[in-house]
Amino acid sequence: MQRRNSQNVLLSTALNEFYGAADEMGLSEKLVSILSHSERRVHVSLPVEMDDGSVQVFDGYRVQHSTALGPSKGGIRYDLGVDMDECEALAMLMTWKCSLAGIPYGGGKGGICCDPLNMSKREKERLTRTYGARIEPLLGRWNDVPAPDMNSGSQEMVWILDTVCKMRGKLEPAILTGKPVTYWGSFGRNEATGRGVATCGLEFMKALNKHPDTVTAAVQGFGNVGSYTAKVLNEAGVKVVAISDITGSYYSPGGIDIRKAFEVIHNNPKKLLTGFEQIGNCEKIDDVLFADCEFLFPCARDGVINYDTAGKIKARYIVEGANGPVTPEGDKILDESGVVIVPDFLANSGGVIGSYFEWAQNLQGEFWSEEEYNNKLIKIMKNNFRLVWDYAEAKHVKMRRAATMAAIQKVADVVEMRGIFL
């Protein structure tokens, strides 16, 4: 059988990891063929009237990789790098992430190719509502359930939900997650991904017989995921010595005051430099990835640890908070150096688990307390980490391969059981 290949780094990485795991598992060629292709890929054009009266047409995408285990689940990102291949790669990763997490979802992903930082709020609203109208036929509580992703948040989810509900003439809060608490959202959802990444990191330390008080860590990215990862780690006793955002990287061997860093980004979103002097006794460095620390948490974007950067990393342990932050070339270099990695679709699954909680509450018309939400999340994250750690130990494989194999097997079993619809 001829296997797919792609020039897109992220899609190529996802496919190669899948094929490698499938070969090691002895998966049938039939199942390999089915699971290496997405069920549906949609490309929509989005004409938007800009504030100056001109009209720009943007490209939007939505990919449903698999609905074998349930409705497709995945975020909507706004970025100039968004294209079909990227969405397909991330949708495939979402399939494995949901499977491994043990939640009743398949994998999906969507996005719009745009520069949201150079758009006004009104322009972004028009773009978002047009996108929502274009993908409306796909959305449904048992079909496809989007959520926020890069450069999107609760406001964008409200715009899409409002658009779709007006088109359908009825309220359907369960078709989207990541909504604000005041409008069918859930307490705890905003910090779920970061809390999940930190929980995996803390369980990783426990498995290595390391006490948090003795550990130093660096967190790349101080957005929603990275900031809460740093906060939870810091509260557990970990000394966070380096953080970064779009303005640069900041380092303090004695530990950065994460509470003050939070205050800075609250007053100046995504701009740590604005409050640099308020953060404490720290200095600006070239790159947080190369900080002198034991644990590294890349929580920004994909492909940052690659052939050119992997050899410069001083950390001995990596927990992937972002999707695909380590390329195959980078992975090989790190492996040869003895660096142990907790893979992304295990470490950052707290977001989709949190989305599942919100969806479940919406379906039942019920609202949980933040404590109840967090307790459920932490329990699942701990159990999932232990499952993968034990699997890797038993099979003598790296954690990425162990997680991939365990996730693929569950989806493959259901696809085989359901059969092919003719």
Sign, CA torsion 20/319/325/145: positive
Is 179 one of the annotated active-site residues of the chain?
Answer: no
Tokens 């995921």, located at residue? 225
- Assigned token pair, 331: 């992975």
3-state helix/strand/coil string of 1-51: CCCCCCCCHHHHHHHHHHHHHHHHHCCCHHHHHHHCCCCEEEEEEEEEECC
Bridge-based pairing state of the strands 248-251 and 239-245? antiparallel
Question: Within 10 A of 299 (CB to CB), how many other CB atoms are there?
Answer: 29
User: How big is the CA angle at 9 (ends 4 and 12), to the nearest 5 degrees?
Assistant: 20
Sign, CA torsion 408/204/293/340: negative
- Can you list the pairs that 322-326 forms with residues at least 24 positions away whose Cβ atoms lie under 8 Å? 322/220, 322/221, 322/225, 322/298, 322/348, 323/10, 323/90, 323/93, 323/348, 324/10, 324/13, 324/14, 324/89, 324/93, 325/220, 325/298, 325/300, 325/301, 326/298
Q: Report H helices in 236-292.
A: 258-267, 276-279
Question: How far is it, in rounded angstroms, from Cα 422 to Cα 363?
Answer: 32
Question: How far is it, in rounded angstroms, from Cα 3 to Cα 240?
Answer: 43
Question: How far is it, in rounded angstroms, from Cα 162 to Cα 153?
Answer: 15
| Cα atoms found within 13 Å of the Cα of residue 212, Cβ hemisphere only | 15
Q: Which residues pair with 56 in a beta bridge?
A: 48
Closest CA to 99 of 73, 81, 117, 125: 73
What Å distances lie between residue 144 and 8, 12, 108, 135, 279, CA to CA? 25, 25, 8, 10, 42
Question: How far is it, in rounded angstroms, from Cα 218 to Cα 291?
Answer: 7
The number of angstroms, rounded, from the C-alpha of 110 to the middle of its chain's C-alpha atoms is 13
Which of these is catalytic: 97, 109, 179, 231? 109
Cβ atoms 64, 92 nearer than 8 A? no
Catalytic residue list? 109
